């Protein structure tokens, strides 16, 4: 498994693969890998001839009061996991190389970032789309794999690729969950034992919302209120949002007449957790 640190070296390697008519897949990560990440890696390994995993904790997507400094990192463990999985290359750029001191360019997708996480994390998605664009230009993938857990991020990246006519396809793999339903996340390790035990209430709330829709409830506000009450009973948490939104535009809806994404974000102490689930009326 190659370990590549500069964009120039990564481009040269991808050019060689492309010149040999090999399909290149990219799995962008911030490291501290778990089975959710590895499921994305498996997806790429199956779909592409060569798989690159990027590991880069991107400072541009963290706000000044967020957890960039304490975001968990374990590079040697990550490299061991990826080597045993059969990954072809790990792209691990240094921050100063990726963002030189006079770096002054950004990429932004506007409409899809106005709701859900957008208002609670100003600048976050601009940081995401900027770094992903740089990863795409460095790795030159034919396909890039993202996870459904970050539903809004995946939607934003798809729009980025479409709007800029980027020559690759974006594939979204299902959320991988713990036995109690909690979506796997690198941040889960930051939860206290009690918080971790109670965090399953998030998935319980999502499945409650889906069941209400399947049983015929069409008033989104009623479903959101019941989900909020469930989370508040189970957790000492600050709720950023619980939203029922259109799966493509991400705009909140009031009357449910078709497929929706039910999404939430909560803060347990200093740990922000997000999750989502797709739901649809059964009588459509």
Residue 260: per-residue pLDDT: 98
Average pLDDT, stretch 242-260?
A: 97
pLDDT tens, 161-202? Answer: 999 999 999 999 999 999 999 999 999 999 999 999 999 999
Regarding whether 121 and 241 lie in a shared domain, the answer is: no
Q: What is the pairing mode between strands 238-245 and 260-268?
A: antiparallel
> What separation, in Å, do the N-terminal and C-terminal C-alpha atoms of the chain show?
49
Average pLDDT, the chain: 96
CATH code for position 24: 3.40.50.620
Regarding whether 153 and 204 lie in a shared domain, the answer is: no
Residue 181 belongs to a domain: no
pLDDT tens, 80-103? Answer: 999 999 999 999 999 999 999 999
Residue 178 belongs to a domain: no
Rounded Cα distance, 78 and 189, in Å: 15
Last residue of a domain, one of 173, 194, 214: 173
Which residue range forms the structural domain that includes residue 63? 2-173
Instruction: Give the residue carrying structure tokens 């189970």.
Output: 234
* Token duo for residue 204: 């319980």
8-state DSSP, 265: E
Residue 65: per-residue pLDDT: 81
CATH code for position 252: 3.30.1300.10
Last residue of a domain, one of 173, 205, 224: 173
Query: What number of residues does the chain have?
Result: 284
Buried b / exposed e across 10-40, counting CB within 10 Å, b at 16+? beebbeebeeeeeebbbbbbbbbbbebbbbb
Regarding whether 13 and 113 lie in a shared domain, the answer is: yes
Average pLDDT, stretch 105-134?
A: 97
Where does the pLDDT of residue 284 fall: very low under 50, low under 70, confident under 90, or very high at 90 and above?
low
Regarding whether 18 and 102 lie in a shared domain, the answer is: yes
Regarding whether 52 and 154 lie in a shared domain, the answer is: yes
Rounded Cα distance, 280 and 261, in Å: 9
Number of domains in the chain: 2
Instruction: Give the residue carrying structure tokens 């409830």.
Output: 217
pLDDT over 60 (residue 250): yes
Regarding whether 241 and 103 lie in a shared domain, the answer is: no
Catalytically active residues, by annotation: 37
pLDDT over 90 (residue 259): yes
Last residue of a domain, one of 150, 173, 196: 173
Alpha-helical regions (H) of 91-217:
95-98, 124-139, 151-163, 193-198, 201-214
pLDDT over 70 (residue 217): yes
Regarding whether 129 and 20 lie in a shared domain, the answer is: yes
Cα 132 from chain centroid (whole Å): 12
Average pLDDT, stretch 2-14?
A: 98
Regarding whether 160 and 110 lie in a shared domain, the answer is: yes
pLDDT tens, 24-38? Answer: 999 999 999 999 999
Evaluate whether 214 touches 278 at the Cβ level (below 8 Å).
no
pLDDT over 90 (residue 270): no
């Amino acid at each position: 498994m190659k370990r590549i640190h500069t964009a120039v070296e990564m481009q040269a390697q991808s050019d060689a693969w492309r010149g040999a008519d090999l399909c290149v897949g990219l799995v962008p990560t911030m490291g501290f890998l778990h089975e959710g990440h590895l499921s994305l890696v498996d997806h790429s390994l199956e779909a592409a001839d060569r798989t690159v995993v990027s590991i880069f904790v991107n400072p541009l997507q963290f706000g000044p009061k967020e957890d960039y400094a304490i975001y968990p990192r374990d590079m040697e463990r990550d490299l061991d996991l990826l080597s045993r999985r059969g990954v072809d290359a790990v792209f691990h750029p240094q921050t100063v190389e990726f963002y030189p001191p006079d770096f002054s360019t950004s990429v932004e997708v506007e409409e899809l970032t106005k709701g859900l996480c957008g208002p609670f994390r100003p600048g976050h998605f601009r940081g995401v789309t900027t770094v992903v664009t740089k990863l795409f230009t460095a790795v030159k993938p034919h396909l890039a794999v993202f996870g459904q857990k970050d539903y809004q991020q995946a939607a934003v990246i798809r729009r980025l690729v479409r709007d800029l006519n980027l020559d690759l396809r974006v594939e979204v793999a299902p959320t991988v969950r713990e036995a109690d339903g909690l979506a796997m996340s690198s941040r889960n390790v930051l939860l206290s034992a009690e918080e971790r035990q109670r965090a399953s209430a998030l998935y319980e709330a999502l499945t409650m919302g889906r069941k209400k829709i399947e049983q015929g409830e069409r008033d989104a506000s009623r479903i959101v209120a019941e989900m909020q009450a469930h989370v508040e009973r189970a957790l000492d948490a600050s709720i950023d949002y619980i939203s029922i939104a259109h799966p493509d535009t991400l705009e909140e809806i009031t009357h449910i007449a078709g497929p929706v994404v039910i999404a939430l974000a909560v803060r347990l102490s200093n740990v922000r957790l997000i999750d989502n689930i797709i739901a649809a009326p059964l009588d459509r």
